[in-house]
Structure formats: C-alpha cells, structure tokens
C-alpha cells in the first residue's frame, strides 16, 4: 500500500522551469514557422507524441484499470492533470448524450508569465495540452477530439477545454503505425 | 483597427497587474522530461550535426535564462544585483540551481591554468535524467540547455561569458568569462 502512494507523488520539478521551457519552445516555433496556424498544428502534434508516451507512465503510477464509461475517463483525465501539472480542473457541462464534457481550469500553469501580443491572437498557446489528451486517449482506444472554448490568454476568466468522444477504436493496426 | 482588436479581447488584465508568484508551484518530473524530449526532438529535425543541435538547444536555454534573471533577483535578492564575479557565480550555484532544479549544484571550481575559466559541476543533471545518448552522438550533452540558461544570466548581469556543457564528472559547465569581466573584478578588489 505504501508503495502505491509513493508512486503517486512522483518526483516534482519547479513549475517555472517547465513553463519557461515550454515558452521557449513556442517562441522557437514561431521564429521557425511564422505562421500561427502551423505553430498550433505543430504544438498539437508534439502534445500527441507526449500523450502517447505519457499514458504508460500514468497507468503505471495511478494503477488505474479500465474505464467503464466516458465519465470514468473524464475523472482519469482530471487525475492525470493533477498528477502532471499540479492543478485540478473541474469537469462540467456534460452533453446530454454523455460523450462530451469540459475541463475547466482556473489557472493553467503553462501560461504563467505569458501574454499574447495582438499580432498573435490566433495562437493557441496551450495547444500542446489538447494533443496530450488526444494522444493518451488514443492509446487506450478512445478517439477524442478537443478544442478550446475559453482561454485565459484571450481575456476569458477560465481556460476551458472541450473533450468529445468520437468513437471507440477497435483492435486493428496499432495506432500511430499508419 | 485598434477598436476591433480591443473588442476581441475584453478587459485583458496585464501580467503586471497581478502580484508576483512565490514560485513554489510544481509539476511532475515526467511532464518536464517529456516536454524536454520534445524540445530535443524538435531541434533535431532542424539540424544535421551534433554541434548544430547543441547550438539550437543552447539558444532555447538562453531564452529561458534571460527570463529568470529579473525574476530571481526580485524574489530572492531583494532587487539587488550582484556586482562581484564570485558572488554571481555563487548566486547561480545556489539560488538559481535551487529554484530551477530543487538543489544546489555540486561544485564550483576555478581553473588552475586560466583565471577566466570557472566550472560548475553537477553529477546528475536533471535535464539528462531520462536522456540516453546514442553511441554515434556521444559528444552530445543535452545539459547544453542549462548552459544556455547560465550564459544568459551571466550576460544579462553584465558578466559576458561563454558557457558550454561537457561530460566530465557527470556534467561540467565550463564558464569562460570575457577579458573585461576579470579585469573589472580585479579593479573592484583593489579598491
């Protein structure tokens, strides 16, 4: 039992190092690509790569088993956010059919110190998070799509990520092999 | 033009309206390691050789370093800058390292044969925790990222220097100061 808990509170690093490294990466992308839409895409793709690897770490540390429904999944995503980013988003706005929900964050650690200049209002700064969610869900055979409904960097009060379950992937070619 | 952009972002509070965070927030090491791995992979897509890759990582480190200088001086040093060579090095070894990596760097040394060269030595660099260097790229040390951070701090405190990272007793950061720095420091000593 004690092993379980020590696994859960894994090693931590200062969030500023994380935030600033992320910021430097975004800056570098903007310098290299200089087209906001492509930067958004690239961030999402990087997030996807992270998600694909992160899920392994999450399953090992949290010891969580299969999800029985999408509500279960939403709670796991909430737990993962707390484990990895140290913030606890709230889950709300379920769609009546139960296949779509919102993750609402009051503060988003990766946007500390960040201000979007007017010239880059189209930049989805935290787009990597969406990729992480998509990538990790895909590895447990859930195809989801995510988008931002609200973004604190654009003047909203909270950051709200909408997650929608598209379909359950059946066993076939391993994802990412195409 | 102006009006429409104001309309798009109502009542944006500037970062300066908020109080400075204490900097105690934490994220998981796995999250950082995976992010850093993406940074390295991204840099790798842009270059052909190991030195180019190091340069790119170094640049990203510079970006990070230039942003923490003011932050740490305001937070930990009561807004007072360091003016002495040894003090700024100690500031990096202790304050900066503790803030960034949660512990002090292991050693700070002065080169025997060159008064402009100093070394900061760290047995297990945090950024290298999950990096396994391929055999054909054995000279690559991803801690060059940290070297970039250190270089940016020194340079923006007006101690121009070149900082590089090497595999020696773990990771050794070699700090080579500009001539002007050592001569100025000697003048300060004499006074």
- pLDDT class for B5, splitting at 50, 70, 90? very low
- pLDDT class for A5, splitting at 50, 70, 90? very low
Q: Where do the DSSP E strands lie in A17-175?
A: 90-92, 100-105, 142-150, 159-168
Q: Where do the DSSP E strands lie in B4-106?
A: 26-28
Give the residue with greater pLDDT, B14 vs A107: A107
* Coil/strand/helix, residue B20: coil
Distance in Å from the first CA to the final CA of chain B: 58
- pLDDT class for A176, splitting at 50, 70, 90? low
Q: Where do the DSSP E strands lie in chain A?
A: 12-14, 90-92, 100-105, 142-150, 159-168
Nearest C-alpha in B relative to A115 = B15
Q: Which of B1, B63, B188 is nearest to A21 (CA)?
A: B63
Least confident of A85-99, A161-175, B113-127: A161-175
Give the residue with greater pLDDT, A121 vs A178: A121
Q: Find the Cα–Cα–Cα–Cα dihedral B130, B134, B140, B142, rounded to 10°.
A: -20
Residues near B145 by Cβ (< 8 Å), separated by ≥ 6?
A: B36, B39, B57, B58, B60, B61, B64, B127
A-chain CB neighbours of B102 within 8 Å are 12-14
B-chain CB neighbours of A24 within 8 Å are 39, 60-61, 63-64
Q: A84 vs B11: CB contact, 8 Å cut-off?
A: no
A-chain CB neighbours of B99 within 8 Å are 14, 16
Q: B101 vs A17: CB contact, 8 Å cut-off?
A: yes
Residues near A22 by Cβ (< 8 Å), separated by ≥ 6?
A: A110, A128, B35
Give the residue with greater pLDDT, A177 vs B139: B139
Tokens 């994802």 -> residue: A175
Beta bridge partners of A146: A163
pLDDT recorded at residue A54: 96
Q: Which structure tokens are listed for B49?
A: 């050789």
H helix or E strand, kind and range, residue B121: strand B117-122
Q: A12 vs B102: CB contact, 8 Å cut-off?
A: yes
Cβ-contact A159, A126 below 8 angstroms: yes
List, for residues B164-183, the tens digit of each pLDDT value: 999 999 999 999 999 999 99
- Percent of chain A exceeding pLDDT 70 equals 91
pTM, two decimal places: 0.90
């Amino acid at each position: 039992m004690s092993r379980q808990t020590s696994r859960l509170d894994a090693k931590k690093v200062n969030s500023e190092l994380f935030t600033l490294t992320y910021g430097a990466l975004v800056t570098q992308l903007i310098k290299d690509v200089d087209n906001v839409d492509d930067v958004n895409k690239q961030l999402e793709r990087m997030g996807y790569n992270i998600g694909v690897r992160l899920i392994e770490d999450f399953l090992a540390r949290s010891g969580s088993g299969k999800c029985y429904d999408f509500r279960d999944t939403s709670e796991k995503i909430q737990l993962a956010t707390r484990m990895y980013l140290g913030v606890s988003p709230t889950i709300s706005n379920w769609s009546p059919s139960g296949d779509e929900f919102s993750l609402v964050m009051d503060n988003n650690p990766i946007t500390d110190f960040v201000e979007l200049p007017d010239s880059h209002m189209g930049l989805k700064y935290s787009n990597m998070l969406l990729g992480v969610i998509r990538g990790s869900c895909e590895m447990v055979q859930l195809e989801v799509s995510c988008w931002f409904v609200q973004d604190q960097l654009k003047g909203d009060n909270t950051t709200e990520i909408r997650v929608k379950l598209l379909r359950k992937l059946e066993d076939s070619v391993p994802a990412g092999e195409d | 033009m102006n009006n429409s952009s104001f309309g798009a972002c109502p009542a944006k509070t500037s970062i300066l309206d908020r109080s400075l965070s204490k900097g105690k927030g934490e994220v998981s090491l796995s999250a950082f390691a995976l992010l850093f791995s993406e940074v390295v992979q991204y840099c790798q897509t842009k270059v052909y050789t190991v030195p180019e890759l190091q340069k790119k990582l170094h640049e990203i480190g510079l970006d990070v370093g230039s942003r923490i200088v003011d932050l740490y001086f305001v937070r930990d040093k009561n807004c007072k800058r360091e003016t002495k060579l040894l003090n700024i090095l100690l500031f990096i070894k202790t304050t900066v390292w503790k803030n960034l990596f949660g512990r002090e760097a292991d050693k700070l040394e002065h080169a025997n044969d060159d008064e402009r060269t100093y070394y900061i030595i760290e047995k297990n660099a945090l950024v290298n925790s999950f990096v396994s260097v391929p055999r054909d790229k054995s000279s690559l040390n991803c801690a060059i990222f940290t070297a970039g951070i250190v270089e940016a701090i020194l340079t923006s405190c007006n101690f121009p220097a070149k900082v590089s990272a090497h595999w020696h007793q773990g990771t050794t950061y070699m700090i080579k100061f500009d001539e002007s720095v050592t001569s100025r420091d000697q003048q300060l000593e004499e006074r």
